[in-house]
Amino acid sequence: MSTTARWVIVTAPTDRGDDPRDQVVGALAALRNRYPDTVFRTAVLGGSGPAVTGVLDEAAAAGATEVVVVSAQTVLDRKIDSWFRRVIGHWLREHSGEQIPDVRIANPLSDTTNYADLLDAAVSSPTTPARTTTAPLTSPAWDEVPGFGRHVLVCRGPRCSARGGPETAQALDAALEARGLGDDDVLVTQTGCLFPCSQAPVVVVHPDNAWYAQLHADRVERLVDQHLVAGRPVTEWHGARRTSAILEP
C-alpha cells in the first residue's frame, strides 16, 4: 500500500467554528492539483467537526512523515494562536516515544507578504449589493423553547476537542438515535468552553445540574440509559466543583 508522506491540515478560523471543508473546497482542490503527492484535510480547533488531534491521528496511522498544520485565521487572534499551539503540543506529548510524523506549524495567513494584495483584490473586484430580501432573524419555528425534558451540553472547546469531545458527541448522537430519542426528549448542544478544562471531556445535563468529568465515548451508553432515560444521574462520574455561597442554603 502506497503512503503519502506529506499531509496539510487546514483548521477552521475560530475556536467555535464548524468544519471549514465546504468553504475551502475550491482552494483545496486547486492545491491538490498543484501538489498531487500531498494529502489536504480540514479540522477544527473547537466546535463541530473533526478535531485537529483526530486528523493528526489519521495522518500518523497512514504513515505520514510530515504534517503541516495551518490556521485559516486570516486576522491574527493571539488567543486562538495560543490554543492552536497548545493543542498540537498536547498531541505530541500524548504520542511521545511513538513513531509519528514531523509536525510543523505554518505561519499565520495574516503574516504573509501578500495579505495586503488579497485585501486589495477583494475590494477592487466586482462587489455584490447588500439586500433586504435575505431571510429574517426571526421565524415562527423559533418562537418557543423546544419541549425537551433534559438539555445536554457537550463541550467542544479546544481542550475538550483535543481530549475526546468529538468521539463523545458522536457516541451520544448515535445512542439517542438508537433509542428513538429526539430533540423533544433530549436536546443536545455542542458548546464552546464550559470552563473545567482539566476534566475533559466535559458533559453537563440540565436541569439536573449534573456536571460529568472524563465523559469519554465508552461511558455514553450508561449515561443515556441511567440518567437520560431512567432519570438517575451517574454520581460517581461527577466532576469536582467549587462550592458557591450564593447557591448554599
Residue-wise pLDDT tens digits, 71-110: 888 777 788 888 889 999 999 999 999 999 999 999 877 7
Q: Return the amino acid letter for 140.
A: P
CA-based nearest residue to 47, from 77, 73, 12: 12
**Most distant CA pair in the chain: distance in Å?**
66
- Contact assessment for residue 165 and residue 192, using Cβ atoms and an 8 Å cutoff: no
Which positions ≥6 away from 215 have C-beta within 8 Å? 168, 201, 202, 203, 223, 237
Determine the pLDDT at residue 1.
43
Q: Return the amino acid letter for 88.
A: I
For residue 126, how many other CB atoms are within 10 A of its CB?
Answer: 4
In this prediction, the residues of the chain whose per-residue pLDDT falls under 70 are: 1-3, 13-17, 245, 247-249
Residue-wise pLDDT tens digits, 38-61: 999 999 988 888 999 999 999 999
Residue length of the chain: 249
DSSP code string of 95-144:
TTTS---EEEEPPPGGGSTTHHHHHHHHHHS------S-SPPS--GGGSS
Determine the pLDDT at residue 47.
84
Q: Which helix (H) or strand (E) segment is 87 a member of? A: helix 78-94
CA–CA dist 164, 44 (Å, integer): 13
Beta bridge partners of 68: 8, 104
Determine the pLDDT at residue 79.
81
Q: 3-class DSSP state for residue 133?
A: coil
Q: CA angle 121-125-127, nearest 5°?
A: 130
Please give the model's pTM, rounded to 2 decimal places: 0.81
3-state helix/strand/coil string of 16-28: CCCCHHHCCHHHH
- Contact assessment for residue 110 and residue 80, using Cβ atoms and an 8 Å cutoff: no
Determine the pLDDT at residue 23.
84
Determine the pLDDT at residue 2.
54
